[in-house]
Structure 1
Amino acid sequence: MQPAITGIGQIHVSVSDIDRAISFYRDILGLRFLFRPPSQPMAFFDCGGVRLYLGVPSDPKYRANSFLYYRVDDIEAAYETLQARGLNFFSPPRLIHKTEAGALWMAGFQDPDGNYAQIMAEKPA
């Protein structure tokens, strides 16, 4: 019997300040804001068809340590755009892996709560 899993519907990222997180993910990263339930410390964004759920955990035991990789078409242009919006990267885009078919490039950063992330692009050879 095959598993019933057909894909990822939502990913949770723990944050400590929902207003600050909304600002960062909407205004700096440029993700499409979907909604914020009234009187709850959570917000939802669209990230290429996967819903990103930002939430303040109700108990520290629910704090998630996520590490997200955001796919971009042009890593140099994305790097420059995000830097201009105030995002501080650890370093410029760098080559991670190269094959005959192409190369994987990444540039890392953290959100205001210290969650790690990378922008990534696969460049054809």
Structure 2
Amino acid sequence: MAAQLLQQVGQIGIPVKDLDRAITFYSDILNLPLLFQTDRMAFYDLNGLRIMLSLPEKEEFAHTSSVLYYQVEDIQAVCKELLAKGAAFSGEPHVVTRMDNIETWMAFFTDSEGNTMALVSEVSV
């Protein structure tokens, strides 16, 4: 059997339309630590996973990203905090599945650039 080539996700690129507006959202609303920025990109750290915001180099890359699921402990409290900071949720936190004694809760929101994001929390019941 061949050895596994891919080890882990090290960076996720998120296309943005307005870099300054996106930096404000990711810094002030999501409270992610900014590692560094250039005139076309900004890099954040999420517990070892790098989030790269970038102005698309070509039109073919100018679209919203895949859904990012941010793991949180207390989804109700995090939703309340993000709402207070101006995040736009598409609905309330809700159970999406239950396996044995664990419920998986999710809440979806958009960033300043129209990219869909989600909070996810696994709750013991």
Q: Percent identity?
A: 37
2:116 counterpart of 1:103: no
Whole-angstrom CA distance in 2 between matches of 1:48 and 1:86: 24
Q: What stretches of structure 1 of length at least 5 have no aligned partner? A: none
Whole-angstrom CA distance in 1 between matches of 2:92 and 2:11: 29
Q: Displacement of 1:109 after TM fit?
A: 0.7
Q: Partner residue of 1:69?
A: 69
Whole-angstrom CA distance in 2 between matches of 1:87 and 1:114: 11
Aligned length: 123
Amino acid at match of 2:110: Q
2:84 counterpart of 1:84: yes
Amino acid at match of 1:66: S
Q: Displacement of 1:62 after TM fit?
A: 2.1
2:25 counterpart of 1:57: no
Q: Partner residue of 1:14?
A: 15
Q: Partner residue of 2:43?
A: 44
Q: What stretches of structure 2 of length at least 5 have no aligned partner? A: none
Q: Deviations over 1:15-61 (max 9, x none)?
A: 01110000001101111111002xx3100001122000000001111
Q: Displacement of 1:110 after TM fit?
A: 0.7
2:125 counterpart of 1:122: no
Whole-angstrom CA distance in 1 between matches of 2:47 and 2:80: 20
Whole-angstrom CA distance in 1 between matches of 2:27 and 2:79: 16
Q: Deviations over 1:76-117 (max 9, x none)?
A: 110111111111211111111012131000111111211101
Per the normalisation by structure 1, the TM-score is 0.93
Whole-angstrom CA distance in 2 between matches of 1:108 and 1:48: 21
Per the normalisation by structure 2, the TM-score is 0.93
